[in-house]
Structure formats: C-alpha cells, structure tokens
Amino acid sequence: MITVRKAREEDIIAVTELERQCFSRPWSYQSFVFELQSGDSWFSVALMDGEIIGFAVLHRFVDEGELFNIAVSEKMRGRGVGDRLLCDIIEGAKKHELKKIFLEVRKTNEPAKSLYKKHGFEVCGLRRNYYDDPKEDAIIMEKRVFEDRKEENP
Ligand SMILES: CC(C)(COP(=O)(O)OP(=O)(O)OC[C@H]1O[C@@H](n2cnc3c(N)ncnc32)[C@H](O)[C@@H]1OP(=O)(O)O)[C@@H](O)C(=O)NCCC(=O)NCCS
C-alpha cells in the first residue's frame, strides 16, 4: 500500500539517496535536514511497505510557496505517486493560506511539465541556461492556490 505523510528525520538518508538517483546536481543531506527543521517548509514523503519511494518539498516565502523538489523512484513512476505527492503539497499550501505556488522545471522534462499542468500550473516565465549538467533553460510555472476575500470580491 502506498501512503503519503510528513517527512521525519529518519527518512532523510533514503530521501537523499533517491535525490541522488534522480538529479544530476542533487541536494545534500544537510539541505533536506534544513527544510525538515524549517517552519516554512512542507516536506512530504511517499512510502510503500515502509520504503521511501518519493518526496516533495515546498518552501514558503511570505504568502507564496516554491516547489523546490519532487521526485519518485524510477521503478515506481507512472502509478500516481507524483499525483499524490503534489496533491499533498497543494493541500499544505492551502493550509498555510499561500496565494501561489511557483516552480522551475527543465524545458525538456515532459513528465514533470505534464504533472504540473494536470494540477493547474501555468507557464509564467523562462530562465535561460538556468540548469547545468546539461545546460538547459528553466520554465517557470505558477498555480494560484488561495485567494483572500478581497481578491475574490474586489
Ligand atoms: C515527474 C515525476 C515526479 C512524476 O511522478 P510519477 O509518480 O511518475 O507521476 P504519476 O504517475 O503520478 O503521473 C501523474 C501525471 O504526471 C504526468 N506524467 C507522469 N509520467 C509521465 C510521462 N512519462 N510522460 C508524460 N507525462 C507523464 C501525467 O500528466 C500524469 O497524469 P496521467 O497519469 O493522468 O496522465 C517523476 O517522473 C520523477 O520523479 N521524475 C524525475 C524527477 C523530476 O524530474 N522531478 C521534477 C523536477 S522539476
């Protein structure tokens, strides 16, 4: 059975290993510990039979959030784990009453772009040569999450 819950300190070694498998410039163990201990982060993990199979990290900047990271282990992709993690992150953003979530994604990362579009993210910008290994542009995407009354009824 697949479950999604908030990350704990004992998850970080497995999360760091999964990060290393998924990205050419992986985050360090210490970066994940920092996010875990930050009061401004929403850090979720997905597990199957006690094994970490995915994670996602949202960081709050005042009333907006940035999706720093989301990944699912290669063998578990295409089974709805990314969907569940992103739903959990969006719920977290709603609880924190964040107005928007931003993210950056490699221009050619079709699975991730498709996942984000499915969850209501729209392209709002481009950062040229943002990524290394290989050098690539980043697409910036945003999703409106929570609108306060003033904005709903101006
Ligand atoms: C992006 C990623 C997290 C998706 O996780 P996943 O568990 O495979 O995704 P799901 O099975 O929940 O699929 C959800 C949606 O993602 C999109 N998607 C997933 N795999 C896809 C693929 N191979 N091609 C196109 N779209 C895909 C689809 O929109 C899918 O919805 P659908 O099934 O209704 O078509 C996963 O591919 C991954 O870990 N990639 C490597 C790390 C990465 O690039 N992270 C993003 C950094 S910005």
Q: The domain that contains 23 carries what CATH number?
A: 3.40.630.30
Q: Six-digit token pair at 49?
A: 């039979």
Q: How many domains does the chain have?
A: 1
Q: Which domain holds residue 117?
A: 2-152
H-assigned helices in the chain? 12-22, 29-37, 81-95, 110-118, 149-152
Average pLDDT over residues 27-40: 96
64-103 pLDDT, tens digit per residue, is: 999 999 999 999 999 999 999 999 999 999 999 999 999 9
Q: Which atom of ligand 1 is nearest to the CA of 77?
A: 8
Mutate to test the pocket of ligand 1, among 4, 103, 104, 114 (most ligand atoms within 8 A of CB): 114
Q: pTM (2 decimals)?
A: 0.95
Cα–Cα dist 17/15, whole Å: 5
Cα-to-centroid distance, 105 and ligand 1 (Å): 12
Task: Quickly count: other Cβ atoms within 10 Å of residue 30's Cβ.
Answer: 10
Q: How far is the CA of 115 from the centre of ligand 1 (A)?
A: 5
Alpha carbon distance 72, 139 (integer Å): 20
Residue 150 confidence (pLDDT) above 90: no
User: How high is the pLDDT of residue 111?
Assistant: 98
Query: What does the pLDDT look like over 103-141, one tens digit per residue?
Result: 999 999 999 999 999 999 999 999 999 999 999 999 999
